[in-house]
């Protein structure tokens, strides 16, 4: 009682403390939600212009809805969504970079210009793509005008239509603005006569020379010893060539969650009961029975020999109607099959049809308002007409059919495989004779069908197949997780991690050069959480991860290497540059060797003889613009040195890519005299224009400060 009294006396204080704690909890959660990194609330920044997470997500939602509509897939995979987000980010960055350029140049798209791009004589390619018949590829300008005139109505029927149109318009404007921008740059290219003349001379001045090379390949790599100083020297002179983007290497062990023996036994017991039950079920009830008991829906198609799964196929065509095959077990899947029927059926058929649809029928156009009863009456009337005079079939199909694809071909559907059409339609063609006209109903409406061709029939089987995949139980998941957790808890250092892998004979895999916004690690589904862990500020090289749950497997990773954006450390590229360091060491030794052979007044031939080298003669085939030296491959330094020598002179040893060269200049053949350098001007300009589309934006992007914090958000 005393304690209760004490609490009552201090009730006000307790209320305040609890209130502050709740406020701290709520605000802390709010802060974590809006500041996922705990350090930066900025999603991205381009040249000082911020990109907010809300703006980004809004664009993602709009594009995601459009993608669902275009593909018909209401549940895109995490990989597809990730790719979409990456595309949107790149577009947002691109738009911000280019917007600054457009503003400075005063580039815009007027309303008249936009109208012309949408409804003019030569519409933009995006309009052509979106308003062309997918079957014929024919553009329909009337459809564009009709769509725009009725945009409000479309929006009422399908919210989001306006947003999709606005997105298309923006894409058209962006594409046209960039085209204008590129054309301005291309049009601004000017080549002075002196540059064209120099280009002409470099392409046409030729050299007659003799040379020999002491090749690096003649010296075994294992005979060359390089020191830390050699590595450091090469690194200091060439490190800019190895500039890198941020990346990580990880090693990982995956603990696959496969069904246990207990899981298999449980399904085995169930499938044996299914085997008993299916023998008692009437054929008419088999489809419903299959759909209740199978992972896959009932398939009513007739298959010829060789088209069914191998084991079922082998047995089915030796069995009798009504026989039950199996159960079979393979790769965690049980299969039972019942032979339903055999028929002689053609592999393919040809038919024409007239479709009379109605409001609410599958894929019926929005303009169709007739009722189902009205559609039946129309179909019955047309059936009488075409049966009296089958020659009118094509004309009627072209004028009244509600199937726009077949309508263009007077109802002709061409050849189609048995089973590829909707059930009632397919069976009407199988049972019908060539030239016979029938009326059938499907979910699409009423079809007046004319069978126009059938291939030779063959024996086919209809088989009811029940499949049941053995899934790992919760207990199995818990057991595997426990194993992975024990491994992770016992191996907290790289040394322990690697030793345990060897001791337990586990399979360790390596993923290299993973960039921060990658969504792919070979062998793993949806590995973003692992990649995010590898880039967290407090994750260090050599750290062991927590246990990651990745759709049917548990993963424990080790961060093997950390590469930050910019110049790599010597240790990071030491293995990579070792052959180049040895090449330089070989060159240094060869240059010393050749110089030691030189004496006062020694001729080129005498030096080659002393060096035990083969002399190559090159006449009138080598220019300053040449890419390579015949017989030696690309040698830009050697070619540059050759054209810096004088007639009758011998070079010092020149370090090339394939060896150390010594060159003697016999003569230069000057470029033929000319005053017309127009061809060179045109070539230089053409080369420049070809590079504009790719190089201009890449250069702008490289020189723009871009802050990309996406990895902190997803």
Residue 95 resides in a domain = yes
- Shared domain for 501 and 600, answered yes or no, is no
pTM: 0.75
Confidence of residue 35 (pLDDT cuts 50, 70, 90): very low
pLDDT in tens, 201-222: 999 999 999 999 999 999 999 9
pLDDT of residue 539: 97
Residue 696 resides in a domain = no
What average pLDDT score do residues 283-291 get? 96
pLDDT in tens, 668-707: 999 999 999 999 999 999 999 999 988 999 999 999 999 9
pLDDT in tens, 613-632: 999 999 999 999 999 999 99
- Shared domain for 551 and 590, answered yes or no, is no
Residue 714 resides in a domain = no
Enter the tokens of residue 291: 């759909």
Residue 628 resides in a domain = yes
Confidence of residue 249 (pLDDT cuts 50, 70, 90): very high
Residue 464 resides in a domain = no
Question: Which of 401, 420, 454 is the last residue in one of the domains?
Answer: 454
Question: Which of 345, 371, 386 is the last residue in one of the domains?
Answer: 345
Number of domains in the chain: 6
- Shared domain for 93 and 115, answered yes or no, is yes
- CATH number of the domain that residue 594 is part of: 3.10.50
pLDDT in tens, 118-154: 999 899 999 998 888 766 678 888 889 888 998 988 8
For every residue of 460-527, DSSP letters joined together read: EEEEEEEEEEPPPPHHHHHHHHHHHHHHHHH--SHHHHHHHHHHTT--EEEEEEE-TT---BTTBSS-
pLDDT of residue 135: 62
- Shared domain for 547 and 582, answered yes or no, is no
- Shared domain for 558 and 577, answered yes or no, is no
d(CA 282, CA 266): 27
- Shared domain for 439 and 484, answered yes or no, is no
- Shared domain for 9 and 81, answered yes or no, is no
- Shared domain for 94 and 111, answered yes or no, is yes
Q: What percent of the chain has pLDDT over 70?
A: 94
- Shared domain for 69 and 174, answered yes or no, is yes
- Shared domain for 447 and 431, answered yes or no, is yes
CA nearest neighbour of 466 among 273, 295, 281, 263: 295
d(CA 714, CA 707): 15
- Reply yes or no on whether the pLDDT at 27 is more than 60: no
Strand boundaries in 517-582, DSSP class E:
548-549, 553-563
pLDDT of residue 406: 74
Residue 442 resides in a domain = yes
- Shared domain for 374 and 360, answered yes or no, is yes
Q: What are phi and psi of 323, to 5 degrees?
A: -70, 145
Q: Render the burial of 550-584: b for 16+ CB within 10 Å, e for the rest.
A: beebbbbbbbbbbbeeeebebeebeeebbeebbbb
Domain of residue 585 covers: 206-243+572-669
Residue 439 resides in a domain = yes
- Shared domain for 20 and 115, answered yes or no, is no
Question: Which of 317, 345, 373 is the last residue in one of the domains?
Answer: 345
Residue 45 resides in a domain = no
* Span of 396-400, 475-479, 659-663 with lowest mean pLDDT: 396-400
């Amino acid at each position: 009682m005393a304690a209760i009294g004490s609490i009552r006396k201090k009730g006000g204080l307790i209320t305040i403390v609890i209130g502050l704690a709740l406020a701290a909890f709520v605000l802390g959660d709010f802060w974590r939600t809006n500041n996922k990194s705990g350090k930066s609330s900025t999603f991205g920044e381009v040249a000082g212009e911020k990109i907010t997470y809300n703006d980004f997500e809004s664009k993602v939602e709009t594009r995601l809805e459009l993608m669902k509509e275009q593909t018909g897939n209401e549940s895109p995979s995490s990989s597809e969504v990730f790719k979409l987000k990456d595309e949107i980010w790149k577009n947002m960055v691109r738009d911000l970079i280019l917007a600054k350029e457009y503003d400075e140049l005063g580039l815009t798209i007027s309303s008249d210009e936009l109208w012309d791009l949408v409804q003019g004589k030569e519409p933009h390619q995006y309009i052509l793509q979106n308003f062309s018949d997918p079957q014929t590829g024919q553009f329909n300008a009337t459809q564009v005008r009709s769509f725009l005139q009725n945009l409000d109505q479309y929006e009422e029927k399908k919210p989001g239509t306006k947003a999709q149109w606005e997105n298309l318009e923006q894409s058209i404007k962006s594409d046209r603005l960039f085209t204008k921008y590129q054309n301005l740059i291309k049009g601004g290219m000017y080549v002075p006569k002196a540059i064209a003349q120099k280009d002409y001379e470099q392409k046409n001045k030729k050299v007659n020379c003799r040379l020999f090379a002491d090749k690096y390949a003649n010296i075994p790599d294992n005979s060359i010893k390089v020191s830390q100083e050699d590595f450091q020297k090469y690194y200091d002179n060439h490190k800019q060539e190895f500039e890198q983007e941020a990346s990580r290497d990880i090693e990982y062990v995956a603990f696959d969650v496969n069904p246990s023996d207990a899981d298999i036994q449980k399904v085995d017991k169930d499938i044996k009961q299914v085997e008993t039950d299916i023998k008692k079920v009437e054929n008419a009830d088999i489809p419903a029975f299959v759909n209740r008991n199978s992972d896959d829906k009932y398939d009513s198609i007739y298959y010829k020999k060789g088209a069914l799964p191998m084991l079922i196929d082998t047995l089915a065509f030796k069995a009798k109607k009504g026989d039950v095959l199996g159960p079979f077990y393979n790769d965690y899947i049980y299969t039972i099959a019942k032979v339903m029927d055999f028929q002689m059926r053609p592999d393919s058929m040809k038919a024409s049809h007239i479709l009379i649809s109605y409001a609410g029928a599958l894929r019926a156009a929005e303009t169709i308002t007739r009722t189902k009863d009205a559609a039946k009456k129309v179909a019955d009337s047309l059936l009488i007409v075409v049966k009296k005079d089958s020659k009118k079939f094509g004309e009627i199909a072209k004028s009244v059919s509600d199937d726009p694809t077949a309508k263009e071909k007077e109802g002709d559907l061409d050849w189609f495989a048995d089973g590829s059409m909707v059930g009632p339609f397919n069976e009407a063609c199988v049972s019908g004779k060539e030239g016979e006209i029938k009326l059938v109903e499907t979910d699409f409406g009423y079809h007046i069908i004319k069978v126009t061709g059938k291939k030779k029939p063959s024996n086919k089987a209809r088989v009811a197949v029940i499949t049941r995949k053995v899934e790992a139980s919760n207990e199995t998941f818990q057991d595997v997780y426990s194993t992975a957790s024990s491994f992770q808890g016992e191996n907290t250092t790289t040394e322990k991690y690697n030793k345990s892998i060897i001791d337990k004979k586990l399979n360790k895999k390596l993923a290299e050069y993973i960039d921060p916004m990658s969504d792919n690690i070979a062998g793993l589904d949806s590995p973003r959480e692992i990649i995010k862990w590898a880039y967290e500020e407090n994750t260090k090289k050599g750290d062991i991860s927590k246990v990651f749950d990745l759709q049917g497997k548990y993963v424990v990773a080790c961060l093997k290497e950390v590469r930050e954006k910019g110049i790599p450390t010597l240790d990071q590229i030491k293995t990579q540059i070792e052959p180049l360091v040895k090449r330089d060491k070989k060159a240094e030794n060869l240059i010393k060797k050749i110089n030691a052979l030189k004496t006062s007044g020694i001729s080129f031939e005498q030096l080659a003889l002393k060096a035990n080298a083969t002399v190559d003669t090159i006449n009138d085939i080598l220019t300053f613009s040449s890419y390579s030296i015949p017989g030696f491959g690309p040698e830009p330094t050697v070619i540059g040195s050759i054209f810096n020598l004088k007639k009758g002179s011998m070079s010092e040893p020149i370090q090339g890519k394939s060896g150390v060269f010594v060159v003697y200049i016999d003569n230069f053949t000057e470029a033929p005299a000319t005053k017309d350098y127009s061809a060179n001007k045109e070539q230089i300009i053409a080369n420049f224009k070809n590079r504009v589309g790719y190089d201009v934006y890449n250069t702008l992007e490289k020189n723009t400060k871009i802050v990309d914090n996406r990895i902190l958000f997803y």
